[in-house]
Amino acid sequence: MMADYESIVCVKPEVFVYRIPPRPSNRGYRAADWKLDAPDYTGRMKIVAKGKNCVIKIEDKNSGELFAQAPVDAYPGVAVESVTDSSRYFVIRVQDDSGRSAFIGMGFGDRGDSFDFNVALQDHFKWVRKSEQIEKEGTTDTGPKLDLGFKEGQTITINIGKKKSGSKAKPSAGAGGFLPPPPGGKIPTLTPPPGGAAAPPQQPQTATDLDPFASSSASNTSSTGGDWGDFAGAGSGNNNQSGSSWVQF
């Protein structure tokens, strides 16, 4: 367990100390019964905390020599008590090393200093109560605790961005936003609209359909009997008209 360290939670450079008469009644102490204009001691005040313990120390302003100290076990309580007629004055119970105790009056010249003194004590004991509550809850919690640690030899496997085997890439959309047909599939035929007739199937195109000159060549060849049929026909016609000229020549 970590050892407690000492910390100073409040320091005021000037504090007034008074010898006070015994408590007059159960109503509490009154600062008006003291000689406020003639304090018995003027020094420096510190509140020192060490763990849950808290001590008010009154020291010499120059040398730091201890004048008196008041252990505080609770606030508000017997160790520190406010007077009934002012917010700047308190009655504290001081103790010496032998354990003897006495009550003295203590006051501040500024109201803000007394406010800081109050807040410092309240914050310390608020922390003490919270710490005791946490310790109490820790001792009463005897149920099983969830162990999330790895056992000896235990490992885990994490797959990050690994592609499954046998998976195929998703086909991307083609032109017009339509997906291409699956491999080996047939292109679906278009269904005619209701009440209309289906378009007749188209015949495969031949060489004649693709070449416009093939039709004229085929007709010339069939009519003349050959590629030179035109010249033969012309010669035969001329021979019939002028046969005698060819004989005379």
Across residues 206-230, what is the average pLDDT?
48
Q: Residue 153's pLDDT is what?
A: 73
Q: Which residue has the higher pLDDT, 219 or 141?
A: 141
Residue 6's pLDDT band (cuts 50, 70, 90): confident
CA angle 22/25/29 to nearest 5° reads 60
Q: Is the pLDDT of residue 79 over 70?
A: yes
Alpha-carbon torsion (61, 64, 70, 75), positive or negative: positive
Residue 132's pLDDT band (cuts 50, 70, 90): confident
Each residue's pLDDT tens digit, 156-200: 777 776 565 555 555 555 555 556 666 655 555 555 566 555 555
Lowest mean pLDDT among 10-14, 42-46, 57-61, 73-77: 73-77
Q: Residue 246's pLDDT is what?
A: 46
Q: Report the predicted TM-score, pTM, of the whole model to 2 decimal places.
A: 0.55
Q: Is the pLDDT of residue 96 over 80?
A: yes
Write the DSSP assignment of 109-155 as a string of letters.
SSHHHHHHHHHHHHHHHHHHHHHHHHHHHHHH--SPPP--SPPTT--
Q: Which of 22, 165, 38 is nearest to 104 (CA)?
A: 22
Q: Residue 195's pLDDT is what?
A: 57
Say how many residues make up the chain.
Answer: 249
35 CB-near residues (< 8 Å, 6+ apart): 18
Q: Residue 247's pLDDT is what?
A: 45
Mean model confidence pLDDT for the chain: 75
Q: What percent of the chain has pLDDT over 70?
A: 59
